[in-house]
């Protein structure tokens, strides 16, 4: 499992407020007529809800491309018309992240949706990342790198990952017995590295392991990051 930190209710509320603020800021950047990549996770959840509010209150015409069943069902509930990559490429993709470094390299996949997230985010004309300030790091690696792995390849993949200096762990489900199963019916293997010196090189090495569908390193894909802080929203661009 990916690491969890014990937090007080007050600290949780501050982080949640920052997520809401940055999500609202991102939703207000959406233009009438945009095709949007809809990310997955708690911050993206607030973004999708705000988009639904704008459709109802401002009658803007937008369409969304969800990156998971979670974002698919939420978008439907919020009244957002949906489309696919077969029909449209996104003008803007908006998604959260688990870590963001100063060069806007990311680790994503805490929600086990990083394969489709990377496809949609990379296809967009602009990729906007929305996070709270706890996700800012000087160097990637405190958060493990998630791998989506074909089940039959689990053992050879973990052996290869160890050769790269990683410590693999099969992500186990919390509300069911057994491992987490992705929307693509695969396993998630979380790999802890002592340090990630070159995110781009490590992304390539991990994806070259047979049986790995995709990994959670997003090197150089983000165009802009909005960071929710106690003093408002900070914007960082390439």
Active site residue 117: yes
**Nearest alpha carbon to residue 22 among 96, 108, 76:** 96
What is the rounded distance in angstroms from the CA atom of residue 73 to the CA atom of residue 62? 17
- Mean per-residue pLDDT, 209-215: 98
Q: Please state, in angstroms and rounded to a whole number, the distance separating the CA atoms of residues 206 and 52.
A: 37
Domains 9-137+219-237 and 145-214 share a fold: no
Dihedral pair phi/psi, residue 222, rounded to 5°: -70, 135
Q: Strand pairing of 187-193 and 166-170?
A: antiparallel
Q: Point out the catalytic residue in the list 6, 21, 59, 117.
A: 117
Q: What percent of the chain has pLDDT over 90?
A: 89
1: pLDDT strictly greater than 50? no
Q: What is the mean pLDDT of the segment spanning 145-164?
A: 98
> What is the reported pLDDT for 5?
53
Q: What is the mean pLDDT of residues 117-127?
A: 98
Domain 9-137+219-237: top CATH class: alpha beta
User: Would you say residue 121 has pLDDT above 80?
Assistant: yes
* pLDDT at site 78: 98
- Give residue 9's pLDDT band: very low, low, confident or very high (50, 70, 90): low
How many C-beta atoms lie closer than 10 Å to residue 217's C-beta?
A: 28
Q: Is 119's pLDDT higher than 90?
A: yes
Phi-psi region of 104 (alpha: psi -120 to 50; beta: other; left: phi over 0): left
pLDDT of 12 > 80? The answer is no
- CA–CA dist 82, 75 (Å, integer): 8
Rounded Cα distance between 186 and 189, Å, is: 10
CATH number of 145-214: 3.30.70.260
Is the per-residue pLDDT at 192 higher than 50? yes
HSE (CB half, 13 Å, CA atoms) of 72? 9
The per-residue pLDDT for 7 is 61
Q: Give the model's pLDDT for residue 155.
A: 98
Q: What is the DSSP letter of 134?
A: G
pLDDT of 29 > 80? The answer is yes
Q: Do 40 and 71 meet the contact criterion of CB atoms below 8 Å apart? A: yes
Which of 175, 194, 226 is CA-nearest to residue 22? Answer: 226
Pairing of strands 106-107, 217-218: antiparallel
Domain ranges of the chain: 9-137+219-237, 145-214
Q: Which residues of 123-149 are buried (b: 16+ CB within 10 A; e: fewer)?
A: ebeebbbbbbbbbbbeebbebbbbbbb
Question: Mean pLDDT score of the chain, rounded to an integer?
Answer: 95
């Amino acid at each position: 499992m990916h690491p969890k930190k014990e937090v007080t209710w007050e600290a949780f509320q501050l982080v949640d407020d920052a997520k809401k603020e940055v999500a609202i800021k991102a939703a207000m950047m959406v233009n009438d007529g945009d095709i949007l990549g809809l990310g997955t996770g708690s911050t993206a959840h607030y973004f999708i809800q705000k988009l639904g509010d704008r459709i109802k209150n401002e009658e803007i015409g937008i369409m969304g491309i969800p990156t998971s069943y979670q974002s698919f069902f939420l978008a439907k509930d919020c009244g957002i018309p949906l489309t696919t990559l077969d029909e449209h490429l996104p003008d803007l993709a908006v998604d959260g992240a688990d870590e963001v470094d100063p060069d806007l390299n990311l680790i994503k996949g805490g929600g086990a949706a990083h394969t489709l997230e990377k496809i949609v985010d990379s296809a967009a004309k602009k990729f906007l990342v929305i996070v709270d300030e706890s996700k800012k790091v000087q160097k990637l690696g405190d958060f493990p790198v998630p791998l989506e792995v074909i089940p039959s390849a689990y053992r050879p993949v973990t052996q290869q990952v160890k050769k790269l200096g990683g410590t693999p762990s099969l992500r186990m489900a919390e509300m069911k017995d057994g491992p987490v199963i992705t929307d693509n019916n695969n396993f998630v293997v979380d790999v802890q590295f002592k340090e990630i010196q070159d995110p781009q090189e490590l992304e390539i090495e991990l994806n070259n392991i047979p049986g790995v569908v995709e990994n959670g390193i997003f090197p150089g894909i983000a165009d802009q990051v909005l960071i929710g802080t106690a003093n408002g929203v900070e914007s960082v661009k390439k």
